[in-house]
Amino acid sequence: MPPLWFSDACARTLRAGSPNADAWMRSAPARLVELAEAHGIEVNSPLTGGHTGAVCAGVRAGRPVVCKLTLDTSFALREMYSLHALSRSGRVPDVVVAEVHEGFLATSRVLPGTAGLVGDLSAVADLARRLHDVTPPVGATTVEALLADRAEALAQHCQTLGLDPSLLHAAREPLDPGAAHLVLCHGDFGPANLLDGPAGELWAIDPECIVGPAAFDLAGYAVRHGSDTAIAVLDELADLYGASRTEARAWLGWMTFDEAVRHTVYGLPIARAEWALAVQLGVLPPRS
C-alpha cells in the first residue's frame, strides 16, 4: 500500500489541536493498517479527503469499507454515535468496526461515491428531509450548547483581530433555536460529505449529529458550497425544503461570521472570500 499522507488542511487542524500531532502523523499509517488487519480488513488504498486523521479504503469479507484513525478519539466516538443515530434514514454508512478508545472506525463504503457540488438541489433537500425525519436520541448535543461553546473562542478571536465585541452579539442575536421545530441535524452537511449511492441517490457521510432547526443544516450546506454562490444556493435550498429564508439566512450569517473570523486568525487563504460574504450578509465590517 502507498504511504498515507495528510493534506495541509488536515495537518494544520491536527497541529492546532495537539502538540504531538507530527509524531502521531508519522506513526498513524502503520497503526491504521495494524488495526484494520486485526479486524480482517485488507487495506488497499489511502484516501486523502479527511481533515481529522488518516483514512483508507479496504475490503472486509468482500465488502468495501472505509477505515479511519483519528488523533482525537472523541471524533471516532462522535461519528459512531451519529451514524447509529441516523441509520434509520437508510442514507448513511453502516458501522462495521469501532475501537473508539483507539480512535479507529471502519464503515461501509458508499459507491460509486462521487463527491462534490450537486447540480440538483432538490436531491439535497430530499436527503436533508430524510435525515431530519429521524427522531433525535435522548441526550444528543444541541445547537444551543454549540453556540455557547463557540462564543468564548469567538470572543477571543474578535479580540485578536481588534473587532468590536458587539459584532459577535449581533451575529448571534437573530438566532432563536428554542423557538424553531428541532430535528436531528447532520451537523456537517456540505458537498464534500454528500456522495452518490449505488442507485444514483445521495448519501451522507461523516455526520456530527446535533439537535437544532433544519435551517442549521441548510445554511451549513450553503456556506460550504462557496462564498460566491452561498446566498443564492441557500435561498433555493430553503424554498425546496420548505424552510424560512429569513431563518436560514440568519444561520448563514452566524456560520460565515464564525468561519471568517476563525480562518482569518489561523491565516487561511479562504478567509478573504468568507469575510467578503460576511460583509455582504451584514455581520462583519469591510477589512482595511
Domain ranges for the chain, please list them: 8-108, 121-281
Instruction: Provide the pLDDT for residue 12.
Output: 79
Residue with cell 461515491: 113
Q: At what angle do helices 271-281 and 245-266 cross, to 10 degrees?
A: 140
**CA-to-CA distance for 128 and 67, rounded, in angstroms?**
25
Share of the chain above pLDDT 70, in %: 98
Distance of CA 123 to the CA centre of its chain: 19
Q: What SS3 class is residue 237? A: helix
- 31-81 pLDDT, tens digit per residue, is 999 999 999 999 988 887 677 889 999 999 999 999 999 999 999 999 999
Could you tell me how far CA 217 lies from the centroid of its own chain? 10
The average confidence (pLDDT) of the chain is: 92
For residue 16, the model assigns a pLDDT of: 79
- Give the span between the Cα atoms of 50 and 61, in whole angstroms: 25
Beta-carbon-side half-sphere exposure of residue 215 (alpha carbons within 13 Å): 24
Per DSSP, what are the bridge partners of residue 58?
A: 43, 65
Instruction: Using the predicted structure, report yes or no on whether residue 85 has a pLDDT greater than 80.
Output: yes
CATH architecture of the domain with residue range 8-108: 2-Layer Sandwich (3.30)
Contact 283, 257 (CB under 8 A): yes
Does residue 128 surpass a pLDDT of 90? yes
For residue 7, is pLDDT > 90? no
pLDDT at residue 288 is higher than 80: no
Can you tell me the distance from the alpha carbon of 269 to that of 267, in angstroms, rounded to the nearest whole number?
Answer: 6
**Which fold does the domain 121-281 belong to in CATH?**
Aminoglycoside 3'-phosphotransferase; Chain: A, domain 2 (3.90.1200)
Contact 86, 92 (CB under 8 A): yes
Higher pLDDT: 28 or 6? It is: 28
Residue 130 pairs with which residues in a beta bridge? none
Q: 175 in helix, strand or coil?
A: coil
pLDDT at 188 (0 to 100): 95
87-96: per-residue pLDDT in tens? 999 999 999 9
| pLDDT at 234 exceeding the cut of 70 | yes
| DSSP 8-state secondary structure symbol assigned to residue 2 | P
pLDDT tens for 190-210 read 999 999 999 889 999 999 999
- Pairing type for strands 41-47 and 210-213 reads unpaired
Mention every residue, 6+ apart, whose C-beta is less than 8 A from residue 86.
92, 131, 134, 184, 186, 204, 207, 209
* pLDDT score of 3 more than 70: no
Cα dihedral 202/271/262/206 (nearest 10): 20
User: Residue with C-alpha cell 433525535?
Assistant: 136
Over 70: is that where the pLDDT of 262 sits? yes
Judge whether residue 119 has pLDDT over 90: no
pLDDT above 50 for 2? no
